[in-house]
Structure 1
Amino acid sequence: MRTADRRTVLGLHRSRHRRDLLSDALDLGVTAIDTASNYLGHHSHRTLATVAGDLLPKFSISTKVGYFEDGHSLLPERLRHAVEKTAKDLGHEPGTILLHNPEHSAPDAETLTHACAALVDATAAGLCEHWGISTWDPRPLVGLDAPRPDVLMVRSGLLVSNRVLDAAEALVTWWRPAAVWGMSPFGGSATAPVWARVEPRTFLRVPAATTVQAAFRVAFALPRVDAVAVSTDDTGHLRELLGGLAYEIDTEVLRSYRQLLRQST
């Protein structure tokens, strides 16, 4: 097993939750996984416990609550029950529980604060180690007061629009989370046609990486995040991504790119 590298998180959004993938991830040094209560048709937690229950203590697990089989909800009592069910279904307390896309319910500050308080209380009760917020579109949340989250999870990478990047950075400034994580660095697929039309290696000081490696590395800088969750069922793809972490970002190119984005919006 390689030395653990917490910068890369194995996302399970589109994953089939295979045991061999989790085992290979550990061998590669990936010791963090990210899922949600509604992934795999609301069966992610129980499936993980069934196929890899003995492996889960070796991972730092982050998961999300907020989507239920009858829709999205920010009701504190439902969130608290979801957190309790998460630990029961996994057979293991998760490291981090995230409020899943609160913008889906268009909350006001009071509603968001009460929803976050449910996760704060769950953390204090020992149902998880940390709590946070995961947002696909942070724009509706800018300016809303909330308890300071341990983790803020936002979209990152070259396919994120300038307005979403600005909103994510505004939330970081406003909420001051202890850590910021990125997600969906390829916008859903590393083989989508868009990746044949862009050249992410432009952002690297030494452009010797593959296109996939470069795009993944840039996702740590757009916006600046501490870790990136990436979904895959392919061990080879995960190994390739890890190889891209050694490359350095050209900060001047990055700065020019952000300026061009702002001028175009």
Structure 2
Amino acid sequence: MARMTASTSPSPQRGEISRDELVRWLNDFLKVGELPDPSLNGLQIQGTDTIRRVAASVDTSAQTLQAAADAGADLLIVHHGLFWGKPIALTGPHRERVRTALMADLNLYAAHIPLDAHPEVGNNAVIAQALSLQHTRPFGDWMGHKIGVAGELPRELGLQDFADRIQKLTGEICLVHGGGSPNVHRVGVVSGGGAGAVAEAAAAGLDTLLTGEPEHKFFHDSFEHGVNVIFAGHYETEVFGVRALAARIEDEFGLPWQFLNFPTGL
């Protein structure tokens, strides 16, 4: 059953905010619309007018939407939304996803490339900070824009030691392509589907690329370009942005939040 909201409400206070005000803040903070993206970034489904509780998740599914509704969330923030550049008929599972959100009066907000590229709460920026990368700089071309991060470890690590560190960070057993140096010092980070960044990593003088999932067409690149690649999972490398963004919202507006974890194993 949809949650009902009063037609009038007192002035906003810390711990609640109007949906439209929060969406404006998110659009501005994430610079939505400034990067090319097949995703329909921003508010994808409109729900209740007032936001008091936030949920965050990587993907949008009927399970995720229902979990957000069951948690009493007014807003669900996701990295992978429901709409990707073309109309999709509201039939089958897609209808059920939308219906779940509408029945719960749940707002759905998606941030794809803007949440990869953001210098504070982006997937790549948060990973780089967690790895204590120094002398960081933009890396990872996306349609003429850099959405990843490159930097240097404070000290060299053996490739397996570095992979073990990534595994502890993400909880994902890493796939390691040891195409380059046995030691890791200069690292590029492109979360999710960044397997195609090997040539750019080699040109930038990096010895290791950290990304999400492998692609068959890029399998040989690591070995032919002499660059190590660590694949830590598409999902597991993209939990960082939505969590950091939700935490930033809590800091800014006092809205409690929770992360809905539905790992795909990919």
Task: Name the structure with the higher strand share.
Answer: 2
The structure number with the bigger radius of gyration is 2
Normalization by structure 1: what TM-score?
A: 0.26
Higher normalized helix content (fraction of residues)? 1
